[in-house]
Amino acid sequence: MSIEHALRNIEEDRLDEKQLLSLLNNAIEKNHTVLIDKIKLKLRIKHPRAANKRFGSKERDVVDTLTATYNMVKEQFDLIGNNVKNGVKAGGPMKTGERYLCYYISYKNDQGHACALTVNQKTVDSEVYCIVKDYVVGDDTQTTEKRFEMGLYNEAVLCYIQLLKEIVGEVNE
């Protein structure tokens, strides 16, 4: 089967789970990255259990990335005054089904000044992006959000760290 024919079969939903997995193995063997990406996406949409078994859970990479960021941040800042749970948390929009992925780390001080770094994906086939949010609880007029493509994740982290410097104050030496 040619790559073009395989892509058409995937696009037109002509392959079942077993056929997709077989085609995936062949694509990996021949290093056809475009085909691998299309099969992975189709499995995530149509056969999520098989996709999780083959590629790991949908959130693994996002949670690992945010966990590494959180670990770096906790070395730089004293987060003992955080009034929300420390670590990576699942966001409400994902829990309600509004977004495919939504994970975040956040900090809120005693005055209600808070910031968060979230990683989001609206649907299984949409782009992954980050939002850095600066807000005061109960005052919508003091909320700002900056959106970053996932390729600019390091810039989003730097933006989050800058906000932490303002909210937490002292940086660990």
pLDDT of 170 reads 62
Give the span between the Cα atoms of 11 and 3, in whole angstroms. 12
How far apart, in Å, do the first and last CA atoms of the chain sit?
Answer: 60
What are 41-80's pLDDT values in tens digits?
889 888 888 988 888 777 888 999 999 999 999 999 999 9
Domain containing 94 equals 60-168
Q: Do 72 and 151 fall within a single domain?
A: yes
Q: Do 93 and 16 fall within a single domain?
A: no
Q: Do 71 and 155 fall within a single domain?
A: yes
Q: Do 93 and 38 fall within a single domain?
A: no
Residue with tokens 């800042």: 77
Q: Do 43 and 120 fall within a single domain?
A: no
What are 4-33's pLDDT values in tens digits?
899 999 988 899 999 999 999 999 999 988
What are 113-132's pLDDT values in tens digits?
999 999 999 998 889 999 99
Task: Indicate yes or no: pTM above 0.75.
Answer: yes
